[in-house]
């Protein structure tokens, strides 16, 4: 028997239940916010650290779900159970979680009233409770317009390379005037200009005996570049002080600057990333609300759109990279915005054919309203201002939503972990409320 009150970190080999190692969650460690897998949380655990995990806390004596609030609860234990058989529980928003057969998730037994919450193993699940909880993070040291640019690059960007070295940045602008105007502002603000050659030429004029080694130590240039500039100086050819460090070619906005490319790369963007391998940088997940909104504004301006469906506006984005859209969904959820992911098949003649692709959609009126007020677009899209488009309905706040279980399938053997938190014992992983207790079929509270 595991005593939870004196357990910090334990490895046991038993038939205990938990979630797979790649399940993602928020936690605080000595006051600092983290977002990562349960395995990463386990690796962080030690006796001298105070760790709080995002979950549900009861705020008064009433028993309704509205009487619970998202909160970081003190973690009593993080338990590693070794390799176990796990099943993937897929819900209709595109989220999923891999758990052992008897691990407990929050559900309801009365679909019409939803008047009680229960924790049930997967055999009894028809719906599960999901959450979109507003997470406060730390402000990053970069400007928000730079985060918008990073979002644009994740959506529609690539590197300019030569012989394996970064030479610049390419962003597919689609010749959209608002996006081009924004990129011009970025170019001017961050001084993406070719001024180095002018400075080298001025130095050679003042010091004609300066050799390559001295020039390279001062300015950093190649041997061939040094001789080209030296020859032009000797021939009294002039250099422009500034040249625009950008061009537009075939609907692509190109920053011709190695320095600027490395500036982007230093924010966690990988040199090998392509459409199928891009991910959201870890520091975005724990950044401030404004930082996350800025990043998402760039992403949806690149890959996203907004359109009418009857009286409602739907915000969506498409990608061939499902993992990236799951990152985007997690970011939206951390802003209190509900979204769903579905798979689509490219039609013949589509540039994506014969590949499948994925669509993330924001459909609920409250979530669309939140998206427009917090995030928005760079480019012009349908306005979200008329009452008929975003009118309030009787639906509950998006913080808690019951989602139907779409499919449960065997997912193989994976390393399994369990988390026990104080108070309610409820924590959230992959956007799904979990009950980290050992006894099945526990009735939580009456609504």
Domain of residue 381, CATH code: 3.10.28.10
Q: Does 65 reside within a domain?
A: yes
Residue 305 has what DSSP assignment?
A: E
> How many structural domains is the chain composed of?
3
- Residue 11 pLDDT > 60: no
Q: Which residues pair with 29 in a beta bridge?
A: 32, 51
- Residue 225 pLDDT > 90: no
Q: Which residues pair with 255 in a beta bridge?
A: 169, 246
In whole angstroms, give the CA distance from residue 310 to residue 321.
29
When pLDDT is cut at 50, 70 and 90, the band that residue 191 belongs to is: low
Higher-pLDDT residue of 171, 386: 171
Question: Closest Cα partner for 146 from 303, 290, 329, 331?
Answer: 290
Which of 81-95, 129-143, 259-273 has the highest mean predicted lDDT (pLDDT)?
81-95
Strand residues in 32-184 grouped as ranges (E)? 32-37, 51-58, 68-91, 96-99, 104-107, 116-120, 127-131, 157-162, 165-172
90 and 12 part of one domain? yes
106 and 8 part of one domain? yes
Q: What is the mean pLDDT of residues 155-181?
A: 88
Q: What is the mean pLDDT of residues 285-304?
A: 95
Q: Does 140 reside within a domain?
A: no
Domain final residue, candidates 234, 265, 296: 265
384 and 411 part of one domain? no
Look-up: residue for tokens 């422009």? 240
When pLDDT is cut at 50, 70 and 90, the band that residue 50 belongs to is: confident
Question: Closest Cα partner for 414 from 101, 33, 60?
Answer: 101
- Whole-structure pTM value: 0.80
Helices (H), 304-385: 322-333, 365-374
Average pLDDT in the chain: 82
Largest CA distance in the chain: 88
50 and 122 part of one domain? yes
User: Are the beta carbons of 425 and 105 closer than 8 angstroms?
Assistant: no
Question: Closest Cα partner for 307 from 363, 387, 370, 266?
Answer: 363
Residues 6+ apart with CB under 8 A from 56: 68, 69, 70, 71, 424, 426, 428, 433
108 and 191 part of one domain? no
Domain with 424, as residue range(s), is 4-133+402-446
């Amino acid at each position: 028997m595991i005593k939870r009150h004196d357990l910090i970190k334990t490895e046991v080999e038993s038939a205990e239940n938990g979630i797979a190692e790649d399940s993602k969650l928020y936690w605080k460690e000595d006051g600092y916010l983290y977002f990562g897998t349960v395995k990463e949380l386990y690796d962080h655990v030690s006796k001298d650290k105070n760790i709080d995990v995002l979950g549900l806390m009861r705020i008064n004596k009433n028993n309704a779900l509205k009487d619970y609030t998202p909160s970081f609860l003190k973690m009593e234990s993080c338990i590693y159970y070794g390799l176990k058989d796990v099943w993937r529980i897929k819900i209709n928003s595109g989220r999923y979680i891999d758990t052992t057969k008897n691990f407990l998730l929050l559900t309801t037994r009365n679909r019409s009233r939803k008047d009680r919450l229960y924790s049930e193993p997967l055999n009894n699940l028809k719906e599960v409770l999901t959450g979109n909880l507003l997470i406060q993070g730390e402000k990053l040291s970069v400007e928000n317009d730079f985060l918008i640019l990073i979002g644009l690059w994740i959506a529609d960007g690539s590197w300019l390379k030569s012989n394996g070295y970064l030479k610049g940045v390419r962003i597919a602008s689609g010749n959209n005037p608002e996006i081009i105007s924004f990129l011009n502002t970025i170019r001017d603000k961050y001084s993406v200009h070719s001024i180095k050659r002018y400075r080298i030429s001025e130095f050679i004029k003042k010091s004609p005996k300066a050799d390559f080694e001295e020039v390279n130590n001062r300015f950093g240039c190649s041997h061939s570049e040094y001789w080209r500039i030296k020859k032009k100086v000797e021939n009294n050819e002039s250099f422009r002080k500034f040249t625009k460090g950008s061009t537009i070619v075939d609907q692509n906005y190109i920053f011709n600057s190695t320095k600027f490319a490395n500036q982007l790369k230093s924010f966690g963007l990988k040199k090998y990333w392509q459409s199928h391998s891009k991910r959201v940088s870890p520091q975005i997940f724990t950044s401030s609300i404004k930082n996350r909104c800025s990043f998402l504004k760039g992403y949806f301006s690149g890959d996203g759109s907004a359109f009418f469906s009857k009286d409602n506006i739907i915000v969506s984005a498409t990608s061939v990279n499902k993992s990236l859209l799951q990152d985007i969904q997690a970011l939206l959820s951390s802003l209190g915005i509900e979204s769903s992911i579905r798979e689509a098949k490219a039609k013949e003649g589509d540039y994506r054919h014969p590949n499948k692709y994925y669509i993330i959609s924001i459909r609920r009126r409250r979530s669309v309203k939140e998206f427009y007020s917090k995030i928005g677009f760079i480019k012009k899209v349908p306005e979200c201002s008329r009452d008929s488009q975003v009118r309030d309905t009787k639906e509950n706040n998006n913080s808690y939503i019951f989602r139907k279980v779409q499919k449960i399938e065997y997912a193989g053997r994976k390393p399994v972990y369990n988390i026990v938190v104080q108070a309610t014992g409820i924590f959230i992983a992959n956007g799904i409320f979990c009950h980290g207790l050992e006894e099945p079929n526990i009735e939580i509270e009456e609504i």
